[in-house]
Structure 1
Amino acid sequence: MSRTRTALLAALALVAGASGTALAVVPGDVGIAAVPCTVDYKVQNQWDTGFTAAVTITNNTTAKSSWSLKWSYAGNQQITSGWNAKITQSGTAVTAANESYNGTLATGGSLSFGFNGSYSGTNAVPAAFTLDGVTCNVDDGATPTPTDPTDPGDPSAERVDNPYNGAQVYVNPEWSAKAAAETGGSRISNQPTGVWLDRIAAINGVNGGMGLRDHLDAALEQKGSGEEVIQLVIYNLPGRDCAALASNGELGPTEIDRYKTEYIDPIAAILADPAYASLRIVTTIEIDSLPNLVTNTGSRPTATPACDVMKANGNYQKGVGYALNKLGDVPNVYNYIDAGHHGWIGWDDNFAPSATVMKEAATSEGATVNDVHGFITNTANYSALKENNFTINDTVAGKSVRESKWVDWNRYVDELSFAQAFRNQLVTTGFNSGIGMLIDTSRNGWGGTARPTGPGAVTDVDTYVNGGRYDRRIHIGNWCNQSGAGLGERPQANPAAGIDAYVWMKPPGESDGSSTEIANDEGKGFDRMCDPTYTGNPRNGNNLSGALPNSPLSGHWFSAQFQQLMQNAYPAL
């Protein structure tokens, strides 16, 4: 955004109508007089009969405890739904007033809201706005206003190579309170975890809980004068998790437009609020989506009809691309795409094809590889970080470790080696050479008394691998509330080459899915892989699921799991 003097603003706002944006003032030069308020009205998405718009208000006068923004349309635009504001319309006149949770508007403060609308003919941007009766975007001859923090001339808007460097990471107070309430939980309740936006309602808060703005505001409070990372999980694709019923979502396979306008657009508008420009916002994009298009489609024995549908309609790639594009436009957002784990795409026929699918997504819906800061592996999974008792190159009794039943011809035996190798593959596929990896270590410690202290016997390759492996799952395809799991490495920056951070993106103690069918209004199904009596399917080699009993719905607090994770933590608590 170029620096523009306020005297030019009225003319510029009219010119901007052709591009779908009403320009807000960016008075960064000393001596420029202030406007009482600025309004940035952007048409983010437009089609033949409808559009989505985002509006950001900046108040340069006395702090407000409530507000009302008004404008009029020159055409026949009609607002059909909105978020983060109470929007009413009479003829061409529109009024947007604060919700109960966002009435405060400090001096120099900003806030954003958005809406969907319909139109025919032209969709011109409104020429004038008033905030509480005062005309915005017009010089009142008063005092200078501060620099727009989203202006590239402001150092706070420049992305750093690794957002975790020199920064503390947001501790979610809701998760922290649950952890601290558990016996012994205070030992880890100060650890940073991801905030999961797993449905549209989560943006404003579910059942009275914290919404996205609440978390961002809390992150600002935790930040103080230092740097602060807040980790968000973007998780609501249409037809979500086509191979795992426990984590199905609210949107049907074809509801890509709802995903864009009711989910991504409101999130992007909030993250773009200049009030949050000093935060480093890490987004992890759509867990367990893109790898499904490689491993669970077509003629493979692991294929599911739901995944075939998503491969055919392309909505996973479209959704991920749209999210990358919109969120990547915010200068202080760092997008990391989910990249499965080594026990999913570490095989020869999955490895390179998965990188190709991720490149397809990252170059769709207006996104480019420049919108991708990195990738995350092992999210909400259990794959051991580093297996020290055997390597992929070992041979026992004339057989390679790759021939063992556990490794099963995979190229990797642990998550660290996989993440580093997959990073190289992604660069080869066309992603930027500076991408970094995150590894979720929230549940892959595998400590306690069952942790082997050395290799297994060399009588045969299976005995050797099974006797030495830290990962004690029955099968590497098991993923739901695994019995015997423990907390892994604590979150930390720059732990290994090519790795931006170890993170706890999955909050320990939150269930992967219910062990029996539970009626719910969250769109979550019952997956037999969460049932400890289930004897399996091709995706886990037809083995027992290894799941804990009596588990609640995915995302709900599971005290027994939390206690087990602490008991088996490695490093130990």
Structure 2
Amino acid sequence: MNLWRSLSGRRRAVALAGASALVAGGLVTIPVTGAYAATQCDVAYTTNDWQGGFTATINIKNLGDALNGWTLGFTFPNSSQRVTQGWSAIFSQSGQNVTARNEGYNGSLPTGASTSIGFNGSWSGSNPKPTSFTINGVACNGGTTNPTTPPTTPPTTPPTTPPTTPPTTTPPPGGPKVDNPYAGVKGYVNPEWKAKADAEPGGSRISNTPTAVWIDRIAAINGTDDSSSNGSMGVRDHLDAALAQGAGYIQFVIYNLPGRDCAALASNGELKPDELPRYKAEYIDPISAIQGDAKYRNLRIINIVEIDSLPNLVTNTTNNPGGTATCDTMKANGGYVNGVGYALSKLGAIPNVYNYVDAGHHGWLGWDSNFSPAAQIIKDAAVASGSTVNNVHGFIVNTANYSALKEPYFKITDQVNGQSVRQSKWVDWNFYVDELSFAQAFRNELISKGFNSNIGMLIDTSRNGWGGSARPTGPGATTNVDTYVNGGRVDRRIHLGNWCNQSGAGLGERPTVAPESGIDAYVWVKPPGESDGSSKLIPNDEGKGFDRMCDPTYTGNPRNGNNPSGALDNAPISGAWFSAQFQQLMQNAYPPLS
């Protein structure tokens, strides 16, 4: 396994004033039609190194006049250093000189805008960082002098062809889709999440665990210039990093429907309920273009498609307790059904992509009134907007939630003094008491609605372990159904409807392939340590609102039986790092951490 270690990069304030660009050791003239004011920018170069190789990330921020096209140039200090594979820019190398020219989608850099590019490289002896950079041929030294007049002829020595040394671990061969994309290969470890986990005391015990990458807004596709929420790396950055790791699969969460999560303000998104065309053109289409790049054809790309969406159309419209007008709107305008269908159609057309559609959890859909109707509306979405059921490889339950995988000390058929446990306040007439039994039953229901018989289920076990000192060690007292259930249940939430930063939660089963019949894998889709939502209003530019279910002082609503929220205090916005939660999850892990 590659040894990843963060190294701080070199930042330089730079001036852009010239009209030429250094390309592969020569200079290519760029026409200028008028006076060009000096433009300040900032360049940060960071690497993750291992013996003989490295991954470099270069962040370019424009601090001055708008740019329409750019070329970055720098020189490796060591003659052995080579670019082997680049992304988000067109790289070339001649000798020790390297250039990176913008792609079509990131050439425009308005004032204050940033872009992130990167590459995999090789080295021997040592891997020192470049000490100077150029933008459009101008030395990045804060000056305003135009560059020296470029030569009129290209260099006679052709550019050196970058080496094609593969990663230290060869990815699996391409070919037809496999039945279980998790089987037989290792998963991608997100280096941004790993760095945060490693920074926590004891975090190295889990930091090499594969977790999903959340694409929760349009800006996340190409990457952002900050790491306040889900990180700064874009989709292509993660895919290239997965190749460098020799990973066999990578997991993305497709999460940006118009009117997103219509019943929970903390996870609202940037797109308004009527912006389905924008969702298609600005969100799904660019993701599809990147994932469809032939260079990733040997990588199994797993998409978790739009969590907390389709089940809302069954349970959280205003004909239900606590329903919302936004859910009414999304049901009426077809935005969720057609948005999911479009995503499945576009992404499912890529031969190495595996789509798993979100299917809620047992505490949401386990009642007869929700169970079959939810399966039907998921089927409707799977055949909408030109899609077919063949674009669905499977389904996932408990995404970013806390429902126990198994309840070992009571089952749905138990009775106490002649009363069914279904009559207890906790179970509340549900037909399921845990996620495994629900996932297996819901799979059968989905097949009965017309999905392929070989579909597989995933269960997100990142935060449903419920270990620690509060975990029961046997059944509850048989005084009545409530003492029996409450005394024996491992899920220690106040109410099954509580979903935000739950107090007492712990890490669950580590990612496991094919653990039970019909289950493709236990997975960590919600990266442990990333908040569900802020415990108080925090203004942000990501469209994420404040939901009282994340407020520890909130006394509830009809959807959670008017019970306290059970949320942790001092939480940041959804997706941002929450150190206190991360520490709690490790402390209460089940199985316990060694």
Aligned to 2:550: 530
Establish whether residue 429 from structure 1 lines up as the match of residue 449 from structure 2.
yes
How far does the alpha carbon of each residue in 1:260-297 deviate from its partner, in whole angstroms, 9 at most, with x for none?
Answer: 00000000000010111110000000010000000011
**Stretch deviating more after TM superposition (227-236 or 411-420):** 227-236
CA distance in 1, matches of 2:542, 2:376: 32
> Partner residue of 1:381?
401
**How far apart are 1:67 and its partner, in Å?**
6.0
8 Å contact kept, 1:445–1:569: yes
For residue 342 of structure 2, give the secondary structure of its aligned residue in structure 1.
Answer: helix
Separation (CA, whole Å) in 2 of partners of 1:492 and 1:436: 14
CA contact (8 A) 1:486 1:569 kept: yes
What does 1:103-502 align with in structure 2 at a 5 Å threshold? 156-208=174-226, 209-223=232-246, 228-502=248-522
Counterpart secondary structure, 2:248: strand
String of CA shifts for 1:466-501, please: whole Å, max 9, x gaps: 000000000000000000000000001101100000
- Displacement after TM superposition at 1:155 (Å): 6.7
Flag the 1:557–1:103 CA change in 2: closer, same or farther, 3 A. Answer: closer
8 Å CA contact retained: 1:83, 1:266: no
Q: Which residue of 1 aligns with 2:573?
A: 553
SS at match of 2:302: strand
Distance 2:118 2:239 in 1: 13
In 2, are the aligned partners of 1:235 and 1:285 still within 8 Å (CA)? yes
Name the CA distance, whole Å, in 2 between partners of 1:100 and 1:295: 41
In 2, are the aligned partners of 1:65 and 1:103 still within 8 Å (CA)?
no
Amino acid at match of 1:294: V
Shift of 1:207: 2.0
Match of 1:569 in 2: 589
What is the rounded CA distance, in whole Å, between the counterparts of 1:84 and 1:103 in structure 2? Answer: 16
Residues 378 and 439 in structure 1, CA contact (< 8 A), matched pair in contact too: yes
Q: Distance in 2 between matches of 1:385 and 1:321?
A: 29
Q: Deviations over 1:372-429 (max 9, x none)?
A: 0000000000000000100000000111011110000000000000000000000000
Aligned-pair identity (%): 71
Question: Unpaired segments of 5 or more residues in structure 2?
Answer: 1-86, 110-114, 122-171, 227-231
CA contact (8 A) 1:66 1:103 kept: no
Q: Tell me the C-alpha RMSD between the 2 structures.
A: 2.5
Determine helix, strand or coil for the equivalent of 2:311.
helix
TM-score by length of 2: 0.72
**1:231-259 deviation digits (Å, cap 9, x = unpaired):** 00000000000000000000000000110
1:141 counterpart residue number: none
Q: Structure 1 CA distance, aligned partners of 2:99 and 2:523?
A: 38
How many Å apart are 1:343 and its aligned residue?
0.3
8 Å contact from structure 2 (residues 258, 335) kept in 1: yes
Which residue of the other structure, out of 532, 535, 538, is the alignment partner of 1:515? 535
Q: Is the 8 A contact 1:397 1:460 kept in 2?
A: yes
Distance between the aligned counterparts of 1:316 and 1:394, measured in 2?
Answer: 38
Aligned to 1:83: 105
8 Å contact 1:386–1:415 — kept in the other structure? yes
Separation in structure 2 between the aligned mates of residue 188 and residue 377 of structure 1, nearest angstrom: 22
Measure, in 1, the Cα distance between the counterparts of 2:212 and 2:116: 26
CA distance in 2, matches of 1:290, 1:330: 23
* 1:504 partner letter: W
Aligned AA for 2:352? N
Query: Are 2:116 and 2:225, in contact at CA under 8 Å, matched by a contact in 1?
Result: no
SS of 2:498 mapped into structure 1: coil
Cα distance in structure 2, aligned partners of 1:468 and 1:100: 51
Preserved CA contact (<8 Å) 2:93 2:99: no
2:98 is equivalent to residue 101 of structure 1:
no
CA distance in 1, matches of 2:458, 2:99: 40
Amino acid in structure 2 at the alignment position of 1:203? I
Q: Which runs of 4+ in 1 moved over 3 A?
A: 61-69, 84-87, 102-105
Aligned partners of 2:120 and 2:244 also within 8 Å: no
Match of 2:47 in 1: none
Query: Match for 1:210: what amino acid?
Result: M
Question: C-alpha displacement at 1:157, in angstroms?
Answer: 3.4
Q: Is the 8 A contact 2:393 2:455 kept in 1?
A: yes
TM superposition score normalised by structure 1: 0.75
Distance 2:99 2:416 in 1: 72
Unaligned 5+ segments in structure 1 are: 1-55, 70-81, 88-98, 106-153
CA contact (8 A) 2:188 2:250 kept: yes
Aligned residue type for 1:176: K
For the structure 1 residues 222 and 299, does the alpha-carbon distance in structure 2 shift closer, same or farther, using more than 3 Å as the test?
same
Structure 2 CA distance for partners of 1:295 and 1:62, relative to 1, 3 Å:
same
2:118/2:237 contact within 8 Å kept: no
Q: Secondary structure at the match of 2:364?
A: helix
The 3-state SS of whatever aligns with 2:323 is coil
Contact 1:295–1:302 (8 Å) recurs in 2: no
Residue 206 of structure 1: how far off its partner (Å): 1.8
Deviation at 1:443, TM superposition (A): 0.3
Higher-helix-fraction structure: 1
What is the DSSP-based 3-state SS (H/G/I as helix, E as strand, rest coil) of the residue aligned with 1:262? helix
Q: Indicate the residue corresponding to 1:26 in structure 2.
A: none
* Superposed displacement of residue 101, structure 1: 2.5
Q: Is the 8 A contact 1:67 1:103 kept in 2?
A: no
For the 8 Å contact 1:256–1:319, the answer to whether it is kept is yes
CA deviation after TM superposition for structure 1 residue 62, in Å: 9.8
Task: Work out whether residues 363 and 496 of structure 2, in 8 Å CA contact, stay in contact via their aligned partners in 1.
Answer: yes
Matched residue pairs, number?
A: 446
Residue of structure 1 in register with 2:75 after alignment:
none
Cα distance 1:314–1:469, how it changes in 2: closer, same or farther (>3 A)? same
Q: CA deviation at 1:526?
A: 0.4
Query: Residues 522 and 217 from structure 1, CA distance in 2 versus in 1: closer, same or farther, beyond 3 angstroms?
Result: same
Is contact 1:532–1:549 with CA below 8 Å preserved after alignment? Answer: yes
